[in-house]
Amino acid sequence: MKLLLTSSGLSKRDIGKALQDMAGKAPSDCSVGFIPTAANVEPYAKDWVIAQFGQLQRYGFYRIDIIDFSAAGVDWKARLEGVDILWLAGGNTFHLLDQARKTGFDTWLQQNIDKKVYVGGSASSILMTPSIQVADGVDDNLVGLTDFTGLGYVDFEIEPHCDEARLAEVEAYAKTRPNPVYALDDLSAIKIVDDEVTVISAGAWRRYEGGRRA
């Protein structure tokens, strides 16, 4: 399993280099499935989504297909089958988890995760953790989710976009959680290759141990 869980995409050279290494072949030979599902319900300008195409191209990834698994009439399974890298944009965490469940993307990912490199940004990084509870009060729970169980590919939680004030809030949050919590600023990411976890950062990050044990 290869996961690159970012706060803000390939925001620093070391994060981009990590994706190149994880791809296992030349970036020019890689195909990327860019999945904008989490961003669909966000009403503000999508310059940050557009910037992620530039990030990919900066590191040599030019073969990019935009594939929304929540779009009606799209054979997203067939199109994702052919990609090397799954790049999930950020956006609304609750909408993303809800659509992953309703469309069967969660089941498809479980069956295909070992064949792909998964790149998450913000909401789609949170998606891969045991719980999306950390997004409550940050993202609007537009779909009224009451089950915040994430996809659980890692045994820790993530809060992206942390400045100094948010770091302190996440530390308090972590004391209520059964799992460790990583707080990442926009220059930080977590690389997971099989069972090896590495933080890549040119900024600020913290790992807080969970305070509550199940």
Per-residue pLDDT tens for 44-53? Answer: 899 999 999 9
Residue 123 lies in a domain: yes
Task: Using the predicted structure, report yes or no on whether residue 29 has a pLDDT greater than 60.
Answer: yes
Higher pLDDT, 93 or 43: 93
Per-residue pLDDT tens for 131-189? Answer: 999 999 899 999 999 999 999 999 999 999 999 889 989 999 999 999 999 999 999 99
Residue 173 lies in a domain: yes
pLDDT of residue 76: 98
Range of the domain at 99: 2-208
Alpha-carbon distance 139 to 134, whole Å?
9
Cβ-based neighbours of 146, under 8 Å, separated by 6 or more: none
Residue 213 lies in a domain: no
pLDDT of residue 214: 37
Residue 155 lies in a domain: yes
- Total number of domains constituting the chain: 1
Cβ-based neighbours of 30, under 8 Å, separated by 6 or more: 23, 61, 63, 84, 85
pLDDT of residue 212: 59
CATH of the domain at 71: 3.40.50.880
Task: Quote the crossing angle between the two packed helices 93-103 and 105-112, to the nearest 10°.
Answer: 80
pLDDT of residue 213: 41
Residue 144 lies in a domain: yes
Alpha helices in 82-213 (DSSP H): 93-103, 105-112, 123-126, 164-174
